[in-house]
Amino acid sequence: MPHDVRSKNPAALSVINGTAPQFAQLSAARGILPLPQSDLIEVLVALTESSDQEIAATAAETLAAQNPADIEQIIAAGEAAPAVLSFFLCQSSSPESLLEKILLDRSTPPAAIVEFSRSSPSGRLIELVALNQQLLIRAPELIDAVLGNPNRTGEAERRVLETRREFFEKERGAEQAASELRAQGNIAAAEFIEQVGLGGESGLSIDDALFIAEHIEAEDRETDDSWLGLEYLEEIYEETEAQRVAAYEKILGEINSEDGDAPTVRVSMLNRVLKMGMKDRIKLGMKGDREARNILIRDPNRLVSSAVINNPRITEQEVEVIAAMRTVPEEVLRQIATNCNWMRNYTVVQNLVKNPRTPIGNSMTLMTRMQIKDLVSLSKNKNVPEAVRRHALRLSKTRSGDKS
């Protein structure tokens, strides 16, 4: 029995699989077998390939006599078998309205559309094929079929070339680049190239990705994304273009305020980094070098900046600076405050407690680690919350034996 048979009717199935008596097959070929219209059409299409020439010829004549409007109705109802769609797509007598419905039907076999696209005289229908990017990706041979048809429109040519460039040339380019990086022993950069999203909405080119890959230093085996729970998944994919632009302006503004005008190389990297979607920026935060971390710790999205804190190559000196930053999300400061290794660094503790963005609960806990002179200074610091100042004063008096 042919694949993708749609009919469930026992009589139709017996004809299609060749077990019906010859007189029944001949009756079906003449269109007089009592079957629903969709089943009858499927049977007739199957019989056109019969080894019995009389049956095959009769079935072809019966199909030619069918009203195209009836076939369109079967397609609209979702009852047309793939073999039926392929058959009428290949018939030069099929009207454009029928051909359009077949081309838009997801059940139409891609191989049939490829053959149609190679020879169709209709530029409008060729363009309809070219507009179906998902189909072009699923059946890339369609691209060559469209380009080889002299009746293609300029728009059809533009669309298929764009799809080839975005989804196939870039993919091949990325594979080649990753292979070369692996051959050079740069596994971390190769892994990044293989995983980063190219093209699409981000517009990140292979050249952009290679530039960023130079700043990748941690391999997959070194990173741990267990902190990135399922509850964050929606947040990863909901970023808007406006939010991305705002992130760029925020980061550039901070870098300029610290270093004067940011170096051209850093601005160039920032431009490329902010083309990346949030998922890729998280990956870069966890695997990137000091320069990448310096940019992404300033990302207003807590997931991206948290990824930097979870980078296995981050240094204590960097954490000292981050602990004092007043532009990082509270979540980042909380993660630092709960890291036992970093809490052995007194400068990190001090910077966290003096940072007004550190959650008060964390500040209260950390103050027990501070020296009296620093507690006294903290109790006079107008930049921290009043509750922190009061607690610092109480601790300093308790330590010094002041009963007042």
Domain ranges across the chain: 10-160, 164-215, 340-404
First-residue to last-residue Cα distance in the chain: 97
Amino acid at the residue 41: I
Mean pLDDT score, 139-149: 93
What pLDDT does residue 364 have? 94
Mean pLDDT score, 311-333: 95
Q: What is the DSSP letter of 204?
A: B
The DSSP string of 365-397 is HHGGGS-HHHHHHHHT-TTS-HHHHHHHHHHHH
pLDDT tens-digit profile of 16-34? 888 888 888 898 889 888 8
Angstrom distance (rounded) from CA 379 to CA 165: 62
Residue 95's pLDDT band, with cuts at 50, 70 and 90, is very high
Buried/exposed 126-144: b ≥16 CB within 10 Å, e otherwise? bbbbbebeebbeebbebbe
* 169 or 293, greater pLDDT: 293
Residue 11's pLDDT band, with cuts at 50, 70 and 90, is confident
Residue 171's pLDDT band, with cuts at 50, 70 and 90, is low
What pLDDT does residue 234 have? 66
* Residue 3 clears pLDDT 60, i.e. is over it: no
* Residue 237 clears pLDDT 80, i.e. is over it: no
User: CA angle, corner 271, sides to 267 and 273, nearest 5?
Assistant: 110
**Considering only CA atoms, which of 139, 148, 95 is closest in space to residue 113?**
139
Mean pLDDT score, 200-208: 69
Question: How far is the CA of 260 from the CAs of 85, 249, 256, 263, 266, in angstroms?
Answer: 66, 15, 5, 9, 12
**Chain mean pLDDT for the chain:** 88
What pLDDT does residue 233 have? 65
Mean pLDDT score, 300-324: 94
**What percent of the chain is predicted at pLDDT more than 70?**
93
CB 216 within 8 A of CB 192: yes
Mean pLDDT score, 278-301: 92
Q: Which two tokens stand for residue 272?
A: 């490329």
User: CA angle, corner 389, sides to 387 and 395, nearest 5?
Assistant: 100
What pLDDT does residue 401 have? 77
Tell me if the pTM is above 0.85: no
Q: What is the dihedral of CA 69, 72, 76, 77, to 10 degrees?
A: 80
What pLDDT does residue 1 have? 44
* Residue 232 clears pLDDT 70, i.e. is over it: no
What pLDDT does residue 207 have? 80
Residue 390's pLDDT band, with cuts at 50, 70 and 90, is very high
What pLDDT does residue 172 have? 66
* Residue 157 clears pLDDT 90, i.e. is over it: yes
Mean pLDDT score, 101-124: 94
pLDDT tens-digit profile of 42-81? 999 999 988 889 999 999 999 999 999 999 999 999 889 9
* Residue 203 clears pLDDT 70, i.e. is over it: no
CA neighbours closer than 13 Å in the CB half-sphere of residue 165:
10
